[in-house]
Structure 1
Amino acid sequence: MIKPMKKLLLFVILIPFCTFAQNKPTPRSVVNQIKENVTCDWAEKTVDVFKAGNPDTEIKGIAVCMFADMRTLQKAVEMNCNFIITHEPVFYNHLDDTEAYANDPVYKEKRQFIEDHKLVVFRFHDHIHMTKPDGIYAGMIEKLGWKDYAVDDRGTLFKMPEIQLADFAQELKKQLGLQTVRVIGNPEMKFTKVGLAVGAPGGARQIQMLNMPDVEVMVAGEANEWETYLYANDATTLGKNKAVIFVGHIKSEEAGMDYCAQWLKGFVKGVPIHFIENEANFVTF
């Protein structure tokens, strides 16, 4: 029979362990912490929601990524991460509407992989852009080393030392680890004023930026070829000192999710947090 004093001592010893077990982070608790740490109000209408899995699962590890493609999910499992925070959709469209894929073998196998490994997937898109500073732009500016060249608070406009377009494009290729970049403009054109338009904001917004007096060269993610491409080609043909460099959607924003992983480490404790870089999603010949 355990004496009263020994019972009390055992109780005191076990309290921290019981408390720790009860407070083990879950995807839901981490998302609640994210909501508390962004500087903006959390929007009622948003794509930043759980896309798969049980939000009350105990977290083993967190994987932060740009695209939650199969290779990234497999790597997360290898790293013992069961909570995936991704910037872009999981199931092939902005709202992750899967009705059209109900009988699609690729969708079904990806969904099955997520279920088999008890993964939980959350999209973090709108609010990482809405918070201040915009986490995606902050990460990209840090990656590119452009902080000292910024001329606006938003981190979209920059004044560079004069450089030739072809040389600038080569620098971007090296900095972002790209096989190729797409350049529209005179390769010998010299410039100092740069605009950064990450991701895929749409042709109208890209053209609006390129038309600004403060932008000679726009570094962009992706666009429809009948929109920004056509406009930039016409501008070049008409002798305008304008050019666009397309680096692809992933690489135009991915450093922002690396930034996100480091940001999360500032307030999410008790679980490992890893950034997983996406492999190239196409090859060139």
Structure 2
Amino acid sequence: MKKLLLFALILPIWTLAQNKQTPRSVVNLMKEHVTCDWAETTVDVFKTGNPDTEIKGIAVCMFADMKTLQKVVEMNCNFIITHEPIFYNHLDETDAYATDPVYHEKREFIENNKLVVFRFHDHIHMTEPDGIYAGMMNKLGWKNYEVNDAGTLYKMPEKQLADFARELKGQLGLQTVRVIGNPKMKFTKVGLAVGAPGGARHIQMLNMPEVEVMVAGEASEWETYLYANDATTLGKNKAVIFVGHIKSEEAGMEYCAEWLKGFVKDVPIHFIQNEANFVTF
């Protein structure tokens, strides 16, 4: 009888331990739910912390900057899934910051608060549908205008460039947008180029007959900016609206948070919106 009672007491504890969610177990679930094979070479790896830590809460974001990390701690989360690098370059290489106080204080904050950070970049783009484009399409309400099933090309009712730019500014909660092109230009064909794919890919998209206006994240000013300005001066019916890297992809990470809720159970999951990187005057 005593043995049965002891077993009855131990069983709930053992079951609870078996059901404990860790960053590693969540990432393993993510690997099962993406539609692509998990790449051997990828930036989608743990960046900081112990992957076998018990999760208190999950925070999903675009950039794990200091303001976001502070919010994570305030919300009692300890596992962060971020789309972009945490330490200022694509591979999060930190040798150059050996004596940098900003890097060291950020690292210290992460370690003191026992935060685990995982980057989810390559595979959210590689899965079908591309989670970043799917989230942006939902946010902007463009689903009925999609023409290529990839979230990159759209055919819309005729619009004027200036009106469209103002519309995007409101939808994305932006302080400002940068527009290259004739403000009175009318168009129906739109290309979406999120993040920072580079000037060559931007120019390739602008060259497509299916694109009159490209909505882009960010670019080097001597590449896409220069090309779009030349196209405008030459009388081409082409334009670019830059909404910034964060806002061109952030709705995709909000989509990611909802996606995670479909298969990660018994753990709070929060989407954290990044604040603007700069102020305007």
When normalised by structure 2's length, the TM-score is 0.98
Helix, strand or coil at the partner of 2:81: strand
Which of 72, 77, 91 aligns to 1:95? It is 91
1:252 aligns with 2:280: no
Equivalent positions of 1:67-78 (< 5 A) are: 67-78=63-74
Question: Partners in 1 of 2:147 and 2:136 — Cα distance?
Answer: 16
Tell me the alpha carbon deviations over residues 226-256 of structure 1, each in whole angstroms, 9 at most, x when there is no partner: 1000010000000000000000000000000
Letter in 2 for 1:118: K
Tell me the alpha carbon deviations over residues 183-231 of structure 1, each in whole angstroms, 9 at most, x when there is no partner: 0000000000000000000000011001100000000000000100001
Equivalent positions of 1:241-280 (< 5 A) are: 241-280=237-276
Helix, strand or coil at the partner of 2:183: coil
Which of 88, 96, 100 aligns to 1:104? It is 100
Aligned to 1:212: 208
Tell me the alpha carbon deviations over residues 32-52 of structure 1, each in whole angstroms, 9 at most, x when there is no partner: 111111000000110000100
Which of 157, 160, 165 aligns to 1:161? It is 157
Question: Partners in 2 of 1:11 and 1:210 — Cα distance?
Answer: 68
Letter in 2 for 1:208: Q
Question: Partners in 2 of 1:282 and 1:212 — Cα distance?
Answer: 33
Tell me the alpha carbon deviations over residues 28-77 of structure 1, each in whole angstroms, 9 at most, x when there is no partner: 11111111110000001100001001111110000000000000000000
Question: Partners in 1 of 2:167 and 2:6 — Cα distance?
Answer: 63
Tell me the alpha carbon deviations over residues 134-170 of structure 1, each in whole angstroms, 9 at most, x when there is no partner: 0000000000000000001111100011010000000
Helix, strand or coil at the partner of 1:96: coil
Number of aligned residue pairs? 281
Question: Partners in 2 of 1:162 and 1:239 — Cα distance?
Answer: 19
Letter in 1 for 2:53: T
Contact kept? 1:203, 1:228, Cα under 8 Å: yes
Equivalent positions of 1:97-136 (< 5 A) are: 97-136=93-132
1:85 aligns with 2:81: yes
Question: Partners in 2 of 1:41 and 1:206 — Cα distance?
Answer: 28
Question: Partners in 2 of 1:69 and 1:22 — Cα distance?
Answer: 33
Displacement after TM superposition at 1:12 (Å): 3.4
Aligned to 1:180: 176
When normalised by structure 1's length, the TM-score is 0.97
Letter in 1 for 2:99: N
1:8 aligns with 2:9: no
Question: Partners in 2 of 1:17 and 1:169 — Cα distance?
Answer: 57
Question: Partners in 2 of 1:229 and 1:156 — Cα distance?
Answer: 20
Tell me the alpha carbon deviations over residues 81-134 of structure 1, each in whole angstroms, 9 at most, x when there is no partner: 000000000000000000000110000000000000000000000000000000
Displacement after TM superposition at 1:9 (Å): 4.5
Aligned to 1:138: 134
4+ residue runs over 4 A deviation: none
Displacement after TM superposition at 1:13 (Å): 5.3
Which of 210, 222, 225 aligns to 1:226? It is 222
Contact kept? 1:139, 1:259, Cα under 8 Å: yes
Question: Partners in 2 of 1:98 and 1:200 — Cα distance?
Answer: 21
The answer for unaligned runs of 5 or more in structure 2 is: none
Helix, strand or coil at the partner of 2:166: helix
Aligned to 2:32: 36
Letter in 1 for 2:190: V
Q: How many percent of aligned residue pairs carry the same amino acid?
A: 85
Which of 16, 23, 37 aligns to 1:20? It is 16
Contact kept? 1:24, 1:270, Cα under 8 Å: no
Helix, strand or coil at the partner of 1:271: coil
Aligned to 1:284: 280
Question: Partners in 2 of 1:105 and 1:26 — Cα distance?
Answer: 31
Question: Partners in 2 of 1:102 and 1:30 — Cα distance?
Answer: 32
